[in-house]
A and B are shown apart, each in its own frame.
Chain A
Amino acid sequence: MITTDILIIGAGPTGLFAVFEAGLLKLKCHLIDALEQPGGQCAELYPKKPIYDIPGFPEVLAGDLVTNLMEQIKPFQPGFTLGERAQTIEKQEDGSFIVTTNKGTKHHAKIVAIAGGLGSFEPRKPELANIAMYEGHGVNYMIKDPEVYRDKRVVIAGGGDSALDWSIFLANVASEVTLVHRREEFRGALDSVEKVSDLVNKGKIKLYTPAEVTAINGDGKVASVHITVYDQAKRIEAIDCDAFIPLFGLSPKLGPIGDWGLEIEKNAIKVDNTLDYQTNIPGIYAIGDVNTYPGKLKLILCGFHEATLMCQSAYQRIFPNKKYVMKYTTVGGIDGFDGSRKEAEKAVIKKIENAHV
C-alpha cells in the first residue's frame, strides 16, 4: 500500500505543479497516470509544439515545460505509479481514501486531487473481429519493455512517430520487423522517416504500403497475420509472426472516474470554483482540464491556479486546527523533503568608506 497526503490522479502539467504547491505546505504527493511517462498531453501528443501563454515564457515547447516542472518539483520527491489507470475509490471511516488501479496497486491518501485532463489515454484499436482474444497473447497496443520482443518476429502497424520509432528500435532487437501502413506516406520527424527508409533498404525492416493487417491467426496466441496490400492485384500475404503491435495513437476516455459518484457535466467534473475546486464528495478535488464551472477555460495557466487553491484547502482539511499563513517563496525559500534548501541571496549591510570627506 502506497501512502501519501495528496494522491494526484493525472501527471500532466496541472498535477505536476500541484506537487510543488503541496510541497510548500509540507504535504507529500503521489501521482497515478495511465501513460508510461509524466507530462500528460504535453508529453504524449505534442512535445515538440510551442506554447505561448505560459506566464513568463514567451515561448516554451510542451516537452520542455514538462521537463521544467519535473525539475521544479524534484525537491518534494513525488511518487509515481505510471502505466496504470485509477479504477476504484473507497472512502474510509476516517475520511481518507483508498484508490486502486487497474493493475491492483493500492494508494491510501488523505486527499484525492483529480487532474485527469480529458481522461486516461486509451489506445485506438484496429477493427479486427477477433483482436480482443489475442490481447496480451501477442497483440499489444503499447510497448513497455522492448526486451519482450528480443529475437521475435514482430509486425507493427501505423504511420506516425511511435510506429516509426519502435520499428527503428526493434530492428536491432527483434529477429524480424514488418511495418504495415495504409499509406505510402508517413507522418513523423524527418529523421525517423529517413532512418526507416534506410533500414528498409538494408533489409532490416520489411515494409508493406499501402497495406493493412486484415486478419490475425493463431491458436490462443498470435501465429500469423494477413496483410492486404492495396496494389492493383489487391493481394493478401500471410506473414508468420509472434507479435502484432498496432500503434494507431491514443484517445482519452474519462473512464472509471465517471463512476465514482462525482457530479459530471459534459464529460467534466463539477467543482466549487468560488472556493477550492472541491467536488461534491468532500476530500476529492478536481483541477485542470478535467473540471468544469461557470466560465471555465481549459488552459494550463488556469490549472496552475486551481492546483494552488486546492492545496491550501487540502491543508486546512488535513490540519483543521493549525494556524497557517501563506509564504512567498522569495521570502521563505524552499525546503525540499530531500534536505535541500533554496533561498534568496541575503543583501549585505556594509559601510562604504569615503576618503574624500
Chain B
Amino acid sequence: MSDITVHIIDREGVKHTVEAPTDMAMNIMELCKVYELPVEAFCGGTAMCATCQCYIISDHDLGERNDDEQAMLWEAQNVKENSRLGCQLPISEAMDGLVIELAPEA
C-alpha cells in the first residue's frame, strides 16, 4: 500500500496536486476535505447532496456509477457525461495520476 497522486482542479481553475493514501478507506470527497478544497458535502457522504460532484478529466476507468450516485446525478445540475460524486469514489491504487475538476457549486 502506498500513496498515490491525484490532481484536483478547483472552481477557479487552479490545479492542486495532492498525495492520497490508499489504506485509509478514504474517498475523493474526503480527500478534497483533507486538503481543504471547497467541497461542502453536507450530506456527509450519503450521495444525497451532489456538492462533491466532479468531472473525471483523465481517462482512468472508475467503473459505473452506483445506483444512489446515478439517482442523485439525475437530479443535480451541471451534470456531464464524466460527472461523478466524489463521495462514491473510494481511493485505490488504480487512481494514481487521476485528474478531476470540481463541478460548479450547486
Contact = CB atoms under 8 A, between A and B. Distances in A.
Given A251-B42, A251-B106, A252-B42, A158 B49 contact: no
B77 A158 contact: no
B75 A158 contact: yes
A118 B71 contact: no
Interface of A: 41, 45-46, 49, 118, 124, 127, 158-160, 182-183, 185, 187, 248-249, 251-252, 267
B71 A187 contact: yes
Interface in B5-39: none
Interface in B70-86: 71-72, 74-75, 77
Given A183-B74, A251-B42, A251-B51, 4 more contacts: A159-B71, A159-B74, A248-B75, A249-B48
A159 B106 contact: no
B66 interface: no
A124 B106 contact: yes
B43 interface: yes
B71 A45 contact: no
Contacts of A185: 71, 74
* Nearest 8 Cβ contacts at the A-B interface: A187-B71, A118-B42, A183-B74, A45-B48, A252-B42, A182-B74, A248-B75, A46-B46
B52 to A, nearest CB: 13
A235 to B, nearest CB: 21
5 contacts: A45-B46, A45-B48, A118-B40, A160-B71, A251-B49
Interface residues of B, number: 14
A158 B103 CA distance: 22
Given A185-B71, A187-B71, A251-B106, A45 B77 contact: no
A12 B70 CA distance: 28
Nearest to A298: B44
Nearest to A44: B48
Q: Is the interface of A mostly helix, strand, loop or mixed?
A: loop
Interface in B47-81: 48-49, 51, 68, 71-72, 74-75, 77
Nearest to B68: A187
Nearest to B71: A187
Nearest to B70: A185
Contacts of A160: 71, 75
A45 B46 CA distance: 10
A145 B74 CA distance: 28
Contacts of B51: 251
Contacts of B68: 187
A251 B106 CA distance: 9
A245 to B, nearest CB: 15
Nearest to B67: A187
A182 B75 CA distance: 8
Nearest to B73: A183
Contacts of A267: 40
A159 to B, nearest CB: 6
A223 to B, nearest CB: 27
A52 B73 CA distance: 27
Contacts of B48: 45-46, 249
A126 B51 CA distance: 17
Nearest to A181: B74
Contacts of B77: 124, 127
B75 A249 contact: yes
A124 B51 CA distance: 13
Nearest to A118: B42
Nearest to B79: A182
